[in-house]
């Protein structure tokens, strides 16, 4: 079966490679339809399904499309990717010293099935000084990441612990994806 990753995220590609999967990349087209009334868990599932359906409509019939969407949530307030440096600093200030959730929705579309699930990881961020926030924002790293931070980068210095899947915080819950592939599509993962 031909696997298509509906994402251009370098982190998601890296994690697909880690899983030993052979795949192609086809980015979703058009604007995401974002419903702010949805709870974070429901929102990421909705957005992942949108991406998968968009790519599946432009793919071969025998393809298995895998799409994901990640948000950071402080309570029910969704923090997506920052619009600019000021927005990134505001997000980091809001997260400073608090626990928050990272939700990733995953949709797999293929073999006549649509499977949609989500993963939640609780992330604890230590209190950050204004100087730390400014330096991190100035690095440019927060600008393409939900919640304005990347756990796999400089923000690892800000996070003393998590509860749940580390890879979920990177935007691709590897364990859940492997289980979905096995349970719903008959994949047995190989370790090259």
- Say which residues have a Cβ less than 8 Å from residue 124's Cβ, sequence separation at least 6: 98, 99, 159, 160, 161, 162, 163
Between CA 163 and CA 7 the distance in angstroms is 26
- CA atoms of 79 and 66, how far apart (whole Å): 23
From 37, 36, 5, select the one nearest 21 (Cα to Cα): 5
**Residue showing tokens 């251009």:** 8
Among residues 43, 89, 65, the alpha carbon closest in space to that of 184 is found at 65
User: Alpha-carbon distance 128 to 140, whole Å?
Assistant: 17
Known catalytic residues are 69
- CA dist 22 and 84 (Å) reads 35
Geometric angle at alpha carbon 84, from 82 and 88, rounded to 5°: 50
C-beta separation of 151 from 166 below 8 A: yes
Bridge-based pairing state of the strands 63-74 and 99-110: antiparallel
């Amino acid at each position: 079966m031909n696997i298509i990753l509906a994402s251009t995220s370098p982190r998601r590609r890296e994690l697909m490679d880690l899983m030993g999967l052979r795949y192609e990349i086809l980015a979703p087209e058009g604007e995401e339809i974002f419903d702010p009334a949805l709870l974070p868990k429901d929102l990421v599932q909705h957005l992942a399904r949108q991406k998968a359906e968009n790519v599946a409509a432009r793919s071969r019939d025998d393809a298995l499309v895998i799409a994901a969407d990640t948000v950071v949530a402080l309570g029910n307030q969704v923090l997506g990717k920052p619009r600019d440096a000021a927005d990134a600093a505001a997000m980091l200030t809001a997260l400073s010293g608090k626990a928050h959730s990272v939700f990733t929705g995953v949709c797999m579309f293929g073999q006549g099935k649509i499977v949609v699930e989500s993963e939640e990881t609780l992330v604890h961020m230590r209190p950050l000084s204004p100087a730390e926030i400014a330096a991190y924002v100035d690095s440019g790293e927060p600008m393409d990441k939900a919640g304005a931070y990347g756990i796999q980068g400089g923000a690892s210095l800000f996070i003393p612990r998590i509860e749940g899947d580390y890879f979920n915080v990177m935007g691709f819950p590897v364990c859940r994806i492997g289980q979905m592939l096995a349970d719903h599509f008959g994949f047995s993962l190989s370790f090259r």
